[in-house]
Amino acid sequence: MKLFFLTFNSLILLYFFTLKSSFGIHWSNTLCPVDLNFTSSSLSKYINKTEKPCRDFHSFVCGNWYSYLEGVNDFNYGDVFVKNDHILSGFKKRILRGDKDSYSKALKKLNKMLEKCESLDDGPRSNCIKKVENFGFYAYASYFVKNLEESNMTTYYFEMIAKIFEASREVLIEQIIPMKTNILSSDARKEFIKKLKILRFYRGSYQRLKDINMMEECYDFFEFADNCTVDEMLNDIKHYDCMIPEDYPKKEKCVNYIHNMLDGSIDTSRLINSNAYYRYKINRFLLNPNIIRHPCFDCRFPKSFQYGCIGFVIGQEIMKTLDETLRLQIFKKQADKNKPGPYQKRYDELKKCFTNKLNQLLSKNELSESEKKNLLNDIVADNAGIKVAYTAYKLYLKYNKNVTEGPIPGFDHLSHDQLFFFGYGRSFCEHKNDKWKTTIITPRKGRPLYLSKLLTITNNEAFSEAYKCDINEPMNPREKCSIW
């Protein structure tokens, strides 16, 4: 009996140690220690020292980078540890140029098919190219992801990121969701926590996508002859599934990847083009390997940078999905004859604060109503995401009091709390001369990046405290909006 209790207690201690280790409490930097000089060099490329962060945080964070790019057409990243073709369109240009033809039968075949399209007039030519490139998307995506993960440090990077994910999940379960008594009932909070407890960091979709051997097999079944007509080629694309033998065990997967552009139920283009993706139905969280790059991630950065950018991306995607899916499902159940319940009314009141601030900043007819609605949802998720990331970062500091990441040379006046927000803010820097497309949060129609960042920073108490902004300075208005 005594032996049983000793064993049981040992297992309990092991469980809690493993739990703490899992969500970023214990870090090992032996493979890639923090490099403060490298961090200083990275900071100096971006920070405008003449700007006050409480007056214009965007100019403070991105100003020097903008000034540099005004005079050049490219940006030198020779000292960046992770160097990848991180944009599919850029990587595809090398493929279409034939750079990979000697490595891949599939890519060589697709390039020959595209050459056949070139014989057509403009209208039919564009249609032909579109159909061939859609048909070849799986091949392009497979080599793209393979290229992104070719570093022998990739597994280590993802282990670092998984700790940030686990820390984010933990603070949601233990701190943030339990406090939301004003917008979530007791049962609703339990549903949120239940969902979060089984949420897992997942790399399977990208692991399958980068399996170039399977990809090559799938395209081997497509028969293409140099002397075929364009119409014959396009008809064969349409009936690709008929070319695969019925007894081929991976037929369904090949058809899904090539014809339907799906990995299971996920649109593969979303896997490639999104920074992160929360697969709500199966409760898996995916992070695109293209985010493992400067300026968002470098294993030599202090944790304040890691949490500020990667942590924000993780927190934002989790909260956007939960807010727009689980919360809506719960509110729908609580509604009385299509009338909103009390919790939804409170939620809507809080969201109206964001709506009013957004309307003040938008010029008339700048966005359509649907674009404005989508932007508002993004801003709500951004505000939640930065809160999750910052709370997770503070948890990391709590359990790593013996870890010191000293002041950054040349920037020793900046605390690591301030650098956390720098890591977040830098992810929004964009410039037309940036041919490397380094922006992490990519702009799109209906989402002006400056508004997203402005309406996140100006509503964040922790930012104002970190930078010691006076009340009613531009970045610290008296009235702040908050939902999560």
Q: Where are the strands (E) in 352-477, listed by range? A: none
pLDDT of residue 420: 96
473 pairs with which residues across the strands?
476
Q: Give the dihedral sign, CA 406/410/411/413.
A: positive
Helix (H) or strand (E) holding 276: strand 276-279
Asked if the peptide bond before residue 33 counts as cis, ω within 30 degrees of 0, the response is no
> Rounded distance, CA 106 to CA 135, Å?
11
Domains, the chain, with CATH or none:
20-84+153-199+291-484 (3.40.390.10), 85-150+205-282 (no CATH)
Name the pairing type of β-strands 276-279 and 284-287: antiparallel
**pLDDT at residue 152 in the model:** 78
Count of C-beta atoms within a 10 Å radius of residue 311: 31
pLDDT value, residue 441: 65
Give the Cα separation of 481 and 484 in Å (integer).
Answer: 10
DSSP per residue, 32-91: S---HHHHHHHHHTT--TTS-TTT-HHHHHHHHHHHHHHT-SS---TT-S-----SHHHH
Q: Is 365 left (phi over 0), alpha (psi -120 to 50) or beta?
A: left
Pairing outcome for strands 200-201 and 276-279? unpaired
Sign of CA dihedral 10, 14, 16, 17: positive
Tell me which residues of the chain have a pLDDT lower than 70: 1-30, 71-87, 89-90, 98-102, 364-365, 431-447
From residue 261, alpha-carbon distances to 129, 235, 243, 256, 269 in Å are 17, 18, 18, 6, 7
Answer yes or no: are the C-beta atoms of 186 and 267 closer than 8 Å: no
Kindly state the DSSP code that residue 404 receives in the 8-state scheme: -
Give, as one character, the DSSP assignment of residue 229.
Answer: -
Query: Nearest-CA neighbor of 431 among 46, 69, 90, 142?
Result: 69
Cα 179 to Cα 328: distance, rounded to the nearest angstrom: 19
